[in-house]
Structure 1
Amino acid sequence: MYSFIEGNAGSWPVHTLCAVLGLSRSAYYGWLSGSRDVNKREEEAERLVLEAFQEHRRRYGVRRLVAELKAQGVEMGAHKVRLVLRKHGLKAIQPRSFVPRTTDSRHP
């Protein structure tokens, strides 16, 4: 759609084309200024989160994944990691709490 606006910008005002197509002008100008690689960066970030999640056998939650990615040199916030996990329906496996079971040797 953005390429359509770019092609017809000489015939019609950009704000009119954006309004007709239901797009914001700021999104069009952001696309025009070179943020066309946003999808590639998003896919790369998503891939890194999923790899770290599987690498730690689905035990790491959002906080630990953010720390892991930071250790790898990837700056990503907790909200973004949470969105990626939720998008793929992934949830960290919570270990059961340890409760010692002892034998009752004083039974009647």
Structure 2
Amino acid sequence: MSFRLIDELQTKAIPVSQSCRVLGVSRSGFYEAKRRAAAPAVCKTSVHVRAAFVASHQSYGSRRMVAELSNRGITAGRFKVRRLMRQAGLKPVWKRKFIHTTDSKHDLPIAANVLARQFNPAAPNKAYVSDITYGTPSQRSPPALG
């Protein structure tokens, strides 16, 4: 109540310090209450950040978001974008890195298990085995030269 009175007295050319002294209120408390009472304005950048985040299917972090905003003609730093994303609760969804390479649910014929876990054959050259290794090219060993 007293903060509103001080604000009205200020419009009538009475200094804030004098009004605060008479009413027994600190000046810093008056200015803080005045700052809190002001409605927070919606930042235009935060609206663009949210729109770009939704357009990216919730996959962009702050670095890619800055690049996307600059493509749209909006200049914003990475830390500001990061702060706006944190305030809006925007967290990118990570895609799984594991890739399934085997499809067991198919209608193709399956080879019979001739070896049947008998790893000690009766004679040499009766059973041959092999293995297929799945992985990215960077995980495979280079071919032997020579």
TM-score by structure 2 length? Answer: 0.48
Determine the structure 2 residue equivalent to 1:91.
91
SS of the residue 2:94 aligns to: coil
Aligned mates of 1:100, 1:83 — CA distance in 2: 36
- Which of the pair is proportionally richer in helix? 1
- Runs of 4+ with deviation above 6 angstroms: none
* Pairwise CA distance, 1:82: 1.3
Cα distance in 2, alignment partners of residues 76 and 18 from structure 1: 35
Task: Name 2:138's counterpart in structure 1.
Answer: none
Aligned to 1:39: 41
**In the alignment, is residue 11 of structure 1 matched against residue 14 of structure 2?**
yes
Structure 1 segments unaligned to the other structure (5+ residues) = 28-35
* AA in 2 matched with 1:12: P
Rounded to whole Å, the distance in 2 between the matches of 1:101 and 1:20 is: 65
Instruction: List runs of 5+ in structure 2 lacking aligned partners.
Output: 21-25, 104-129, 132-146
Alignment RMSD = 3.5
Q: Percent identity?
A: 27
1:15-65 Cα deviation digits (max 9, x unpaired): 957424143xxx7xxxxxxxx9x824x1x2111100000011111111101
Q: Return the alpha-carbon distance in structure 1 between the equivalents of residues 66 and 17 of structure 2.
A: 40
How many residues matched? 91
- Deviating more after overlay: 61-70 vs 93-102: 93-102
